[in-house]
Structure 1
Amino acid sequence: MRAALGVVLSVWLLGLAPAAVERPLAIGSRKQLFLDRRLIADARGVELSFNPPQHFPSNLLPAERPWERGRLGAYASVLEDDGRYRMYYNSFDARYESEYLCVALSDDGVRWTRPRVGTIEHEGARDNNIVGVGVRGRVFIDPFDAPARRYKLLTRIDAEDPRWPLTKGSRRLDATYLLTSADGFSWERVEEPVLQFHTAAVSDVFFDDLAGRWAVYMRGSLPDTGSAAYARIEVPRDGLARPFSVLPGTRAAERGRAVDLRGEAPFVFQTDANDSVGAHVYTLYAHRYGWADAAYVAFPSIWYSRRPSLGGLSDPTASDGMEMQFAFSHDGIAWRRPFRRSIVPAWLEAGPNGVDQVYCGGMVRHRDEVVVYYSRVAGRHLLDDWKPLGRLASIGRVVFRLDGFVSADATEAGGELTTPVLDFEGRRLELNAWTGAGGWIEVALLDEKRQPLPEFGPRQAIRLAGNSVRHVAAWKRGSDVGALAGRPVRVRIALRDAKLFALQFVP
Structure 2
Amino acid sequence: MIPKQYSCILLTLAVVIPVWSQEPASPFPAEDKAQLFVDQVLVRETQGISFTLHPAREHPENPLVKADQPWEGWRLELYGNVIHDEEDGLFKMWYLGEETETFPNYAVYYALSKDGVHWEKPLVGTVQTDKYPSHNVVAAEIILPSVIKDNKDPDPEKRYKMIGWDQKRHGYHTWVSPDGLHWNPFSQEPLCRGGDVITGYYDEQRSLYVAFPKINHVVRGHDRRVFWLITSPDFQTWSEPELVITPDLRDDASSLARIEEARPILDVPDAPELMRTEFYGVGAYPAESCTLAFPWMLTINNEARYGNQEGPGELQLAVSRDLRHWERPFRTPCLNRGKPGEWDGGFFVCQSRALPVGDEVWLYYSASTYTHGTPCLYRAENTGRHTTHTSSIGLAIWQRDRFVSADASSDGGTLTSVPVTFTGSRLELNARVREGGSIVVSLLDAAGKELPGFETSEPITGDNLRHEVHWQGSPDLAALVGKPVMLRFTMKSAELFSFAFRKQP
1:172-321 equivalences under 5 Å are 173-190=169-186, 192-195=188-191, 197-201=193-197, 203-209=198-204, 211-223=206-218, 224-235=221-232, 237-238=233-234, 240-242=235-237, 244-246=238-240, 265-276=241-252, 277-289=275-287, 292-293=288-289, 295-307=290-302, 320-321=311-312
Q: Secondary structure at the match of 1:271?
A: coil
Instruction: Write the distance in 1 (CA, Å) between the matches of 2:433 and 2:133.
Output: 55
Instruction: Write the distance in 2 (CA, Å) between the matches of 1:313 and 1:279.
Output: 14
2:477 is the counterpart of 1:474: no
- Following superposition, the deviation at residue 156 of structure 1 comes to 2.7
- Cα contact 1:101–1:130 (8 A) shared by 2: yes
| TM-score, structure 1 as length reference | 0.81
Instruction: Write the distance in 2 (CA, Å) between the matches of 1:71 and 1:189.
Output: 27
- Following superposition, the deviation at residue 59 of structure 1 comes to 1.4
1:348-367 equivalences under 5 Å are 348=339, 350=341, 356-361=346-351, 362-367=353-358
Amino acid at match of 1:500: L
**CA shift digits 1:417-457 (9 cap, x unpaired):** 11122211222101111100111110111222222222211
- Following superposition, the deviation at residue 81 of structure 1 comes to 1.3
- Following superposition, the deviation at residue 220 of structure 1 comes to 1.3
Match of 1:329 in 2: 320
Q: Secondary structure at the match of 1:37?
A: coil
Amino acid at match of 1:31: A
**CA shift digits 1:396-416 (9 cap, x unpaired):** 111111011111111111011
Match of residue 33, structure 1, among 36, 40, 43: 36
- Cα contact 2:283–2:354 (8 A) shared by 1: no
- Following superposition, the deviation at residue 349 of structure 1 comes to 5.7
Task: Give the direction of change, closer, same or farther, for the CA distance of 1:56–1:198 in structure 2 (3 Å limit).
Answer: same
- Cα contact 1:303–1:321 (8 A) shared by 2: yes
Match of 1:398 in 2: 396
- Following superposition, the deviation at residue 54 of structure 1 comes to 1.2
- Following superposition, the deviation at residue 503 of structure 1 comes to 0.8
Q: Secondary structure at the match of 2:302?
A: coil
**CA shift digits 1:248-271 (9 cap, x unpaired):** xxxxxxxxxxxxxxxxx3211011
2:102 is the counterpart of 1:66: no
- Cα contact 1:226–1:313 (8 A) shared by 2: no
- Following superposition, the deviation at residue 70 of structure 1 comes to 2.7
Match of 1:88 in 2: 94
- Following superposition, the deviation at residue 305 of structure 1 comes to 1.9
Match of 2:80 in 1: 76
2:154 is the counterpart of 1:156: no
**CA shift digits 1:327-378 (9 cap, x unpaired):** 11111111122211223333246279x9501111351111111111110121
- Cα contact 1:69–1:389 (8 A) shared by 2: no
Match of 2:266 in 1: none
Match of 1:140 in 2: 148
Instruction: Write the distance in 2 (CA, Å) between the matches of 1:287 and 1:464.
Output: 29
Q: Secondary structure at the match of 2:41?
A: helix
Instruction: Write the distance in 2 (CA, Å) between the matches of 1:69 and 1:422.
Output: 54
Match of 1:115 in 2: 122
Identity in percent: 28
- Cα contact 1:432–1:500 (8 A) shared by 2: yes
- Cα contact 1:117–1:130 (8 A) shared by 2: yes
- Cα contact 1:446–1:490 (8 A) shared by 2: yes
Instruction: Write the distance in 1 (CA, Å) between the matches of 2:318 and 2:74.
Output: 31
Task: Give the direction of change, closer, same or farther, for the CA distance of 1:22–1:189 in structure 2 (3 Å limit).
Answer: closer
Which deviates the most, 117-126 or 97-106? 117-126
Instruction: Write the distance in 2 (CA, Å) between the matches of 1:24 and 1:175.
Output: 44
Task: Give the direction of change, closer, same or farther, for the CA distance of 1:86–1:479 in structure 2 (3 Å limit).
Answer: farther
- Cα contact 2:79–2:96 (8 A) shared by 1: yes
Instruction: Write the distance in 2 (CA, Å) between the matches of 1:66 and 1:123.
Output: 14
Task: Give the direction of change, closer, same or farther, for the CA distance of 1:285–1:102 in structure 2 (3 Å limit).
Answer: same
Match of 2:442 in 1: 444
Structure 2, gaps ≥5 residues long: 1-23, 253-274
Task: Give the direction of change, closer, same or farther, for the CA distance of 1:192–1:76 in structure 2 (3 Å limit).
Answer: closer
2:337 is the counterpart of 1:346: yes
- Following superposition, the deviation at residue 209 of structure 1 comes to 4.5
Instruction: Write the distance in 2 (CA, Å) between the matches of 1:23 and 1:398.
Output: 36
Match of 1:17 in 2: none
Instruction: Write the distance in 2 (CA, Å) between the matches of 1:234 and 1:191.
Output: 14
Instruction: Write the distance in 2 (CA, Å) between the matches of 1:268 and 1:191.
Output: 24
Instruction: Write the distance in 2 (CA, Å) between the matches of 1:189 and 1:469.
Output: 43
Task: Give the direction of change, closer, same or farther, for the CA distance of 1:479–1:84 in structure 2 (3 Å limit).
Answer: farther
Instruction: Write the distance in 2 (CA, Å) between the matches of 1:365 and 1:351.
Output: 28
- Following superposition, the deviation at residue 469 of structure 1 comes to 0.7
- Cα contact 2:171–2:196 (8 A) shared by 1: no
- Cα contact 2:187–2:236 (8 A) shared by 1: no
1:101-112 equivalences under 5 Å are 101-112=108-119
Instruction: Write the distance in 1 (CA, Å) between the matches of 2:277 and 2:472.
Output: 55
Kindly tell me the number of residue pairs found equivalent between the two proteins: 440
- Cα contact 1:227–1:278 (8 A) shared by 2: no
Q: Which has the larger radius of gyration?
A: 1
Structure 1, gaps ≥5 residues long: 1-20, 162-172, 247-264
Match of residue 361, structure 2, among 365, 370, 374: 370
Instruction: Write the distance in 2 (CA, Å) between the matches of 1:345 and 1:40.
Output: 28
Instruction: Write the distance in 1 (CA, Å) between the matches of 2:157 and 2:25.
Output: 50
Instruction: Write the distance in 1 (CA, Å) between the matches of 2:187 and 2:26.
Output: 50
Instruction: Write the distance in 2 (CA, Å) between the matches of 1:196 and 1:119.
Output: 28
Q: Secondary structure at the match of 2:314?
A: strand
Instruction: Write the distance in 1 (CA, Å) between the matches of 2:56 and 2:411.
Output: 26
Amino acid at match of 1:371: W
- Cα contact 1:120–1:126 (8 A) shared by 2: no
- Following superposition, the deviation at residue 177 of structure 1 comes to 2.3
Amino acid at match of 1:302: M
